[in-house]
Amino acid sequence: MIYALGGLGEVGKNMYCIEHLNEILIVDAGVLFPEENLLGVDYVIPDFNYLMRHNHKRKVLVITHGHEDHIGGIPFLLKQVNIEAIYAPRFAIALINRKLEERRMRGVKLREINSDSSIQMEHFTVGFFDTIHSIPDSLGLLITTPNGKIVHTGDFKFDLTPVAKNADYQKMAFIGQLGVTMLLSDSTNSGIEDFSISEKRVANMILEITRKASGRLIVATFASNMYRVAQILEAAVQCGRKVIVLGRSMENVVTIGRKLGNIKIPEKCFLTPEQLSTTPANKICIVCTGSQGEPLAALSRIANGTHRFIKLIPGDTIVFSSSPIPGNAGSVNTVLNKLFRAGANVLTKSVLNDLHTTGHASQEEQKLMLQLIKPKYFMPIHGEYKMLKQHRDTAVEVGIPPENIFTCANGDVLLMRNERVFLSSMRIQADDIYVDGNDISGLSTAVLKDRKILADNGLVAVIIPIDSRTNSILAKPVIVSRGFVFIKDSQGLLKEAEMICYNALKERMATKITFSDIKNTVRSSLEPFLYQKTHRNPIVIPVILNSKEAMAQMQAMRQARFQQKQQKETAEEA
C-alpha cells in the first residue's frame, strides 16, 4: 500500500507511507503553516489516527532533508505514534535535535544517513542518492519492496554549477536501469518552464550588490535556505563587512551551519547588537528573516520602527533574496512600502537581477528526472492540485502512459502487486489537524474550530433560573448575544427566542430531568430557530442559575455522600 497523509493538494505537511503486512515505512513528517483565515493556528499537521490504530505495526521514519514542511511534525508524531527509529541526513539531524531539545523530548533514536547508507527492514530495503536542494544533505530514496521498486525524489532540482555537492546523476541512471516500478516526484514548480537558474548566478549578483552598497546592507531571505545564507555571509566578509544575524530561525540555521562546517565564517567577522552603533555603516551587513512580510519577523519590525537594535536610515540598501510565496504578496508589499517611505534603497527579484532561485525542479528538470529513473508508474507529490496535474502532463510528454499516472489526494490508497499499481477503493482518514502553541498533542482541532465559529457566527448565552428542588423554571430565560446580531435591532428576535426556549423547558421539566437534559433542550430548541431566522449557527451556551436554597440543599447532599463514602472506606480498612 502507498498513501499520503499530507503533501498532496498542498505545499506542506509532507508525509508519505508505504505499508506491507506488519511494517510501515514513513517518509517525512512535516507541518503546513496556516493561512490567515485559520485564527489562532500555529501549525497544521497530518491526521495520525490511522497510524495510531496500527501502533502494533513496526514503523520507521525516514527524512529526506531538514525543512519544516518535512520535519516540523516529528514532535507531534512521536507523542502519538510508536516510531522505532528516525533516519535522517546530517543537517536534518541537527535541526531535529534542536527541535526535540526545545520540547524536552529525550530517548528518541536518531540515526544519521547519507547516500551510502542502507536501511534493512523485514519487508523493505531503503537506499539513498544525493540530490540538490536549498539545504545541505538532501537525499532521494530507493525503496525495494516485495512487489517492486519505488523511488521517492524528495525535494530536488538540477543545477549544473551547484555551490556544494552535486546530484548523483550516475546513481539515478543506474537505478533507472535496475527497473523502477513507481516514482514519487516533487511537483512544486511544475508550472515553470525551462531550467531554474543556478545558485552561483545568485551568489555573483549578491556579491556585486554588496560591493556597490554605500551604506548598511540588510538582506532578507528564507532561514531554511542555508546555501543562500552562507553565500550572503561570504559575500559580506569578502567585501570587508562584518555581519549580524537577526531572527531566531536564522540564528539557529547559522549556528548549526557553522558547527557542521557548511558556513566557514570566523567568529571575528560577526557583530553583536551593541557594536552596531560604533561600526561604520559601509562595514555592516545585516542578515535577517522577514522576506515574506511575516508580522513578527525581524525585517517587519525594522520596517515598523519597532526593532530593538535597528532603526532605518536613508542610504540603507535592503535586498529581498526571495520571491513571495503565493498568498504573501500583500504582506510583502506592505513591508516594501514602509521601507521605501523610510528612504531605503530596496532591491527585489526582477528581470534586472537574479536575487533568488528556487530549490525545486521546473518542467525541464522534472523531465530529466523522469528520463533518468524510467518508472513504469508515476505519482506526482508535493504540490497543490494544479501542480500535480501539470506534472502529470509533463510525464505524459516524456512517454509515460496516462493510465499509469495517479494524481491522488491525501488518503487515497495505491496498491502495488507484482510490479503492477492500481488505485484502491479504500480511503484512509487524512484530515488537517490544527495545533496552537500550547498543544503538544496536536488535538486542539475542536477548540480552534469553535474559535472559527465564534468569528463567523458569534455566541448566544441563555441564562435559565431554576429551582432544582421543585424541578421548576422560575422565570423566562434571558438571552445575551455577542457577535451574533445587533441587539438594538433584534429585540423582537431575541424575545421570540426566549419564549421558544421557555416553552420547550416548561414542557420538558414536567418530569424530573438533569442539568444535562436542560442544556440539551435549550440547544435543540434554539439552534434550529436561530438558523431559520438568520442563517447563522452561533455557539449556544446554556447557563443554569439554581436557587440559593436548592444549591445549599445539593451541597448538603454532596457532603453527606462524601462522608458516607469516607465511613465506608474506613470500615473496609478496619
Active site residues: 186, 360
Q: How many CB atoms lie within 10 A of CB 308?
A: 9
| Unique residue bearing C-alpha cell 542578515 | 287
Radius of gyration of the chain (CA): 30
The CA distance from 282 to 276, in Å, is 11
Residues ≥6 apart with Cβ < 8 Å to 13: 6, 7, 30, 31, 32, 44, 45, 46, 69, 72, 73, 432
Q: How many CB atoms lie within 10 A of CB 317?
A: 19
The CA distance from 424 to 2, in Å, is 10
Angle, helices 169-178/363-373, rounded to nearest 10 degrees: 50
CA 140 vs CA 108, 128, 308, 514: distances in Å: 23, 6, 42, 61
Task: Say how many residues make up the chain.
Answer: 574
CA 219 vs CA 8, 294, 390, 406, 498: distances in Å: 33, 15, 33, 41, 61
The CA distance from 118 to 141, in Å, is 10
DSSP state for residue 109 in the 8-state scheme = -
Q: Which residues is 471 bridged to in the sheet?
A: none
Residue 372 amino acid letter? L
